Amino acid sequence: MRTTQLDLFDADQPPDLRGLRAESPVHHDPATGLWLVSRHADVRAVLADPEAFHPDNALTAITPVPRPVLRVLARAGFSLPPTLANNGTPTHTALRRLVAGFLTPARVASFADRIADLCAERLVDGPVDLHASLARDLPCVVLMEVLGIRDVDVPALKAWSTASLELFWGNPSVDRQHELAASAGEFHRWLTTRLRAASPAGDDLFGALVARGTPVREAAGLCYFLLIAGQETTTQLLSTLLDRVLRHPDVWHRLSLDEPGLAAACVEEVLRREPPVTTWRRLTSRPVELSGVRLPAGAPLLLMLTGTDPEVFADPESFCPGRPDARKHLAFGYGRHFCLGAGLARLEGEVVLRTVARRFPALRLASVEPPPMLNLLSFRAPLSVPVV
Ligand code: HEM
Residue pLDDT, tens place only, 320-343: 999 999 999 999 999 999 999 999
pLDDT at residue 3 greater than cutoff 60: no
Give the pLDDT of residue 6: 86
Q: How confident is the model at residue 12 (pLDDT cuts 50, 70, 90)?
A: confident
The mean per-residue pLDDT over the stretch 168-180 comes to: 98
Ligand 1 centroid distance, CA of 367 (Å): 32
- Alpha carbon nearest to ligand 1 atom 37, residue: 85
Does residue 47 have its Cβ closer than 6 Å to ligand 1? yes
The mean per-residue pLDDT over the stretch 301-311 comes to: 98
Q: How confident is the model at residue 176 (pLDDT cuts 50, 70, 90)?
A: very high
Closest atom of ligand 1 relative to the 95 alpha carbon: 41
Percent of the chain with pLDDT over 90: 96
Q: What gap in Å lies between CA 181 and CA 195, rounded to an integer?
A: 21
Tell me the pLDDT tens digit for each residue of 91-107. Answer: 999 999 999 999 999 99
Ligand 1, residues 144, 339, 379: which to mutate, most atoms within 8 A of Cβ?
339
Q: How confident is the model at residue 156 (pLDDT cuts 50, 70, 90)?
A: very high
Tell me the pLDDT tens digit for each residue of 188-227. Answer: 999 999 999 999 999 999 999 999 999 999 999 999 999 9
Q: Name all domains of the chain by residue range, CATH numbers in brackets.
A: 24-387 (1.10.630.10)
Q: What gap in Å lies between CA 329 and CA 168, rounded to an integer?
A: 25
Does residue 307 have its Cβ closer than 6 Å to ligand 1? no
Percent of the chain with pLDDT over 70: 99
Give the pLDDT of residue 2: 46
Strands 300-304 and 34-37: parallel
CB 317 within 8 Å of CB 324: no
The mean per-residue pLDDT over the stretch 164-180 comes to: 98
- Alpha carbon nearest to ligand 1 atom 20, residue: 339
Q: How confident is the model at residue 4 (pLDDT cuts 50, 70, 90)?
A: low
Q: How confident is the model at residue 234 (pLDDT cuts 50, 70, 90)?
A: very high
Does residue 349 have its Cβ closer than 6 Å to ligand 1? no
Ligand 1 centroid distance, CA of 315 (Å): 27
Q: Provide the mean pLDDT of the chain.
A: 97
Does residue 103 have its Cβ closer than 6 Å to ligand 1? yes
Ligand 1 centroid distance, CA of 281 (Å): 13
202, HSE (Cβ side, Cα atoms, 13 Å):
18
Give the pLDDT of residue 102: 98
SS3 content of the chain, % helix, strand, coil (to 5): 50, 10, 40
- Where helices occur in the chain by DSSP H, the ranges are 17-23, 40-47, 67-75, 91-100, 105-109, 112-121, 130, 138-146, 154-169, 174-197, 205-211, 216-229, 232-246, 249-256, 262-273, 342-359
- Alpha carbon nearest to ligand 1 atom 41, residue: 337
- Alpha carbon nearest to ligand 1 atom 36, residue: 339
pLDDT at residue 11 greater than cutoff 90: no
Ligand 1 centroid distance, CA of 345 (Å): 9
Ligand 1 centroid distance, CA of 264 (Å): 18
Ligand 1 centroid distance, CA of 340 (Å): 6
The mean per-residue pLDDT over the stretch 184-190 comes to: 98
Tally Cβ neighbours within 10 Å of residue 323: 19
Ligand 1 centroid distance, CA of 55 (Å): 13
Ligand 1, residues 332, 348, 378, 379: which to mutate, most atoms within 8 A of Cβ?
332
Closest atom of ligand 1 relative to the 236 alpha carbon: 1
Closest atom of ligand 1 relative to the 84 alpha carbon: 40
Nearest to 11, CA basis, from 380, 386, 385, 384: 380
The mean per-residue pLDDT over the stretch 134-151 comes to: 98
Does residue 380 have its Cβ closer than 6 Å to ligand 1? no
Q: What gap in Å lies between CA 92 and CA 74, rounded to an integer?
A: 25
Give the pLDDT of residue 1: 46
The mean per-residue pLDDT over the stretch 301-330 comes to: 97
Closest atom of ligand 1 relative to the 334 alpha carbon: 16
Does residue 226 have its Cβ closer than 6 Å to ligand 1? yes
Tell me the pLDDT tens digit for each residue of 29-53. Answer: 999 999 999 999 999 999 999 999 9
Ligand 1 centroid distance, CA of 224 (Å): 13
